[in-house]
A and B are shown apart, each in its own frame.
Chain A
Amino acid sequence: MNELFAYLRDTALAIWIREGDAFPWIETIHVIAIVTVAGTIAIVDLRLLGLAAHKPSVQRLMEELLPWTWAAFLIAATTGTLLFLTNAPAYAHNRAFQLKMVMMALAGVNMGLFNLRTRRTMHLWDEQVSPPPAAKIAGLLSLTLWAAIICFGRRIGFTLEHFNG
């Protein structure tokens, strides 16, 4: 694994980002994308928790907001990968980075379970102000995990060691 990380760090793309002016710009786009992901998904999460959004139907709220969430996520993942390349060994060994990846995996599992199980009964509670407990738990988990992703992400910048190993 360490060889792979070292290889990635030495690719022409990684060197170009690291040694030019691209890094801060990629980082800036990454931040804009992440706050868009977290901000739009929070509206859906809060609706699942029983806080009214601008339309009563959860299904329609998701159809309206989640395409924006996914587009922003795609940008966040792409820019995040580019940032990772520039110093892959250091990021891979950084505790905050590792925890951020774990939180993202958990957010994915939470979303998967919601889509596979809770969403099946959605026609029964779609317009109810207060959805069933399973939906509320999914909303609360998503809110918490995305806040944690932001916090661990910010922490990477304070703890990253620029070692060459």
Chain B
Amino acid sequence: MPVSEVSAWLYATPVSTHLRDADWIVPTVQSIHIVAIAILMGSSIVLNLRLAGLMARTDSAPVVRQRYLPWLWAALAVLLMTGLVLVIAEPDRVLGNWVFWTKMLLVVVAFITTVTIRVPMRDDFAAKAGAWRIIAKPLAVLSLIMWVLVIVCGRWIAYAL
């Protein structure tokens, strides 16, 4: 089934119609989505800058990991759920939109980089051991840039049609 048919079918479902008909739902869910992005960004900034050696240098890496990673995952869970609601409400806005699919791809890459930074942050020596000595900092910078690019694509969904 082509994307346009999936989109048209989803658009016509009662749940999609209900979400659209109440004109407060989409703006409210988008607002929650952005607040969750703020929490994800705050966590990602401290985690990645700590790994890059640009923040909290005197603080223990596993402590930083233990404090901020659960917030990042919780925010990501909220983002996926609110994002799903937005897709169901306006499938015609996203499913045929290449910026949306680029965003989804970048979310996967950002997720993988975030899962990976856990390893060099597991104890205070991991980031200095073996290949991590070389990879850890670029990985931290990459991870942060990926989340920023996700935001860029998110804003540009509205302009790509």
B89 within 8 A of A: no
Inter-chain contact A54/B68, CB cutoff 8 Å: yes
Complex formed: what's the CA distance from A156 to B27 in Å?
10
Chain A contacts of B31 at CB under 8 A? 150-151, 154-155
Q: Which residues of A contact B151 (CB under 8 A)?
A: 28, 31-32, 35
From residue A93, how far is it (CB to closest CB) to chain B in Å? 19
Residues from chain B with a CB closer than 8 A to the CB of A31 are 34, 151, 154-155
Q: Beta-carbon contacts of A136-148 to B below 8 Å, as 1s and 0s?
A: 0000000000110
Contact A24/B156 with A42-B38, A147-B35, A155-B27 known, Cβ cut-off 8 Å: yes
Q: Please, what's the 1-or-0 string for A42-58, where 1 marks a CB less than 8 Å from any CB in chain B?
A: 11000000001111000
Shortest CB distance B32–A (Å): 8
Is B42 part of the contact surface with A, judged by Cβ < 8 Å?
Answer: yes
Pair count A-B, CB < 8 A: 78
For A94, list chain B residues within 8 Å (CB).
Answer: none
**Alpha-carbon distance A31/B33, docked complex (angstroms):** 12
Query: Are the C-beta atoms of A64 and B155 separated by less than 8 Å?
Result: no
Is there contact, CB below 8 Å, between B56 and A54? yes
Contacts A24-B156, A31-B34, A154-B34 given; does A39 touch B63 at CB 8 Å: no
Q: State whether B40 touches A39 (Cβ < 8 A).
A: yes
Contact status B34-A150, CB under 8 Å: yes
In the complex, the answer to whether B38 meets A34 with C-beta atoms within 8 Å is yes
Contacts of A158 in B (CB 8 A): 27
Q: CA separation between A32 and B68, bound complex, in Å? A: 19
Q: Does B12 contact A (CB under 8 A)?
A: no
Interfacial chain A residues near B46, Cβ < 8 Å: 43, 54, 65
Q: How far is the CA of A39 from the CA of B151 in the complex (A)?
A: 14
**B34 cross-chain contacts in A, Cβ below 8 A:** 31, 34-35, 150, 154
- Report if B88 contacts A (CB, 8 A): no
What mask results when residues 31 to 64 of chain B are scored 1 for a CB within 8 Å of chain A, else 0? 1001101111111011000100001101100011
Q: What is the chain A residue whose CB lies nearest that of B159? A: A24
| B45 and A68 contact, CB distance less than 8 A | yes
Distance in angstroms from B68 CB to nearest chain A CB is: 7
Q: List 26 A-B contacts (CB under 8 A).
A: A24-B158, A28-B151, A31-B34, A31-B155, A34-B38, A35-B37, A35-B38, A38-B35, A38-B38, A39-B40, A39-B45, A40-B45, A42-B38, A52-B67, A54-B46, A54-B50, A54-B59, A54-B68, A64-B55, A150-B31, A150-B34, A151-B28, A154-B27, A154-B31, A155-B27, A155-B31
Q: Which B residues have a C-beta under 8 Å from some C-beta of A?
A: 27-28, 30-31, 34-35, 37-43, 45-46, 50, 55-56, 58-59, 63-64, 67-68, 148, 151-152, 154-156, 158-159
